[in-house]
Amino acid sequence: MLQKLRARSKLTKPTLNLPPRPRKLPFIGNLHNLSRFDPPHHTFTELAKKHGPLMHLQLGEVDTIIVSSPEIAKHILKTHDITTDKICTLELLSTKRVQSFLPIREQEVLDLCKWIARHEGSPINVAEKVSLRNYDIMVRAALGKKTNEQATFVAIVKEAVEFIVISGLKRKIEELHVKSDRIIGNIIEDRKRVNAAKIDEGKKQEEDLLDVLLKIQEAGSLELPFTMDNIKSVLGFSSLSLIHFDGIETSTTVVDWAMAEMVKNPRVLTKAQNEVRDLFDSKQHRVDESCLDELTYLKLVIKETLRMHPPAPLLLPRETRENCEINGYNIPAKTRVLVNVWAIGRSPKYWENPERLEPERFLHKSVDYKGNMFEYIPFGAGRRICPGISFGLANVEMPLAMFLYHFDWILHHGMKPEEMEMKESCGVAARRESSLYVIPVPVVRQPLPVSFEG
């Protein structure tokens, strides 16, 4: 076996000019370069300092390219790009569909604020509570009311996300795919029976994504046949793992880090609170989307949080469909490509004082989330830009605004802001290593109604 590997290596070396890479080992490739104690994007950033912004690694069974500069990221994301699942994007994550979730989101944020008010003086885990609410929103939006099978499916999605980006364990991913396919099949059959019964009884149906997909199938309005397998694919673990990143993981992680950074930086916290409270008080306490558009400083805080802590520090993997050349190097077909957004956002070459929270740095920068400035691509760029930007940001701005308006926040156990740990976890997403526990002190005793008027 080893002789065959060596022979194959000798044959390929003269013909391919691959990007630089660290020394690899038989069978495991460069998995030994990944640390159990550091997040993978941190490790890739350190390796790139030695081997360059376009680096070749073999992770398990998969050849992988790591991109750590805006120039090469632009080449990858605009030139060598492929489209995502259009149905998933158009139906679940479109602006129109996200707006239709407003009543769901309104109720979930109100419920969360009421829960926080009832726990006045007790430390709460911000990420845990926000994440639970966001999963409720996703499940209700995609599959309707929650059931035990849906809870099992969400658990599979969470597990799958940890394997998709880094691990080369294809067998495990396939096992999770089979499990999710079976559960989705059961949910679809149950829904068809329920819908048929409602039609017979003349009852009005509330539409979620599954209902929309079943209508598309029944109408036959697409150019190609839309089968039950297609529906399973859109609702299946691949698409909803994408939604996990695009919506749930994004919003949960950003809210958590934004709260942590503001608590650690009292100047920023006070400035954001004053803006929110002045605005909402002037609007007779009515909070709608037009109000959120006026929260200029809070939006700067969110932008800066995304620069420092992109929720997906490694963009979801791309795969080259054919042999290509990037930056003078040969990239074989079927090579996985990871863009290290975290490294780009922390590079002193492009950002002054990159380790410091400075929301004001965006005051005079015409930077948006559309991926036009490749020094700042927290949601990716090109045709495969994160389709869940609207979904994710909608679940960030309102919770943060309500938290800042209704509560003051203090650290538990008498901890001082400068004593806070700000390390990232070793998972795929850039979560906090230690949970953020803060004590809410209500300013407005009862959370006020939220009015969305579109």
Annotated binding-site positions for heme: 386
Q: Which residue, chain included where needed, has tokens 């691509």?
A: 377
The residues near 159 (Cβ < 8 Å, ≥ 6 apart) are 176
Q: Sign (positive/negative) of CA torsion 330, 429, 162, 106?
A: negative
3-state helix/strand/coil string of 68-105: CCHHHHHHHHHHCCCCCCHHHHHHHCCHHHHHHCHHHH
Cα within 13 Å of Cα(354), Cβ side: 15
Among 31, 34, 38, 35, smallest CA distance to 433 is for: 38
User: Is residue 307 helix, strand or coil?
Assistant: helix
Nearest-angstrom CA–CA distance, 350 and 377: 13
User: Is residue 348 helix, strand or coil?
Assistant: coil
Nearest-angstrom CA–CA distance, 143 and 187: 8
User: Is residue 166 helix, strand or coil?
Assistant: coil
Q: Which residue, chain included where needed, has tokens 């691990």?
A: 167
Binding site: which residues?
386
Task: Measure the N-to-C terminal CA separation of the chain; round to a whole number of Å.
Answer: 65
The answer to whether the beta carbons of residues 428 and 263 sit under 8 Å apart is no
Phi/psi at 25 (nearest 5 deg)?
-110, 155
Among 52, 59, 71, 84, smallest CA distance to 337 is for: 59
233, exposed or middle or buried, with CB in 10 Å at 0-12, 13-18, 19+? middle
Q: Sign (positive/negative) of CA torsion 259, 262, 266, 268?
A: negative
Both tokens of 60, joined, read 């398990």
Q: Any idea what the Cα angle at residue 338 is, between residues 358 and 435, rounded to 5°?
A: 50
User: Is residue 441 helix, strand or coil?
Assistant: strand
Nearest-angstrom CA–CA distance, 248 and 135: 7
Sheet containing strand 318-319, edge to edge, reads 54-59, 62-67, 336-339, 318-319
The answer to whether the beta carbons of residues 93 and 141 sit under 8 Å apart is no
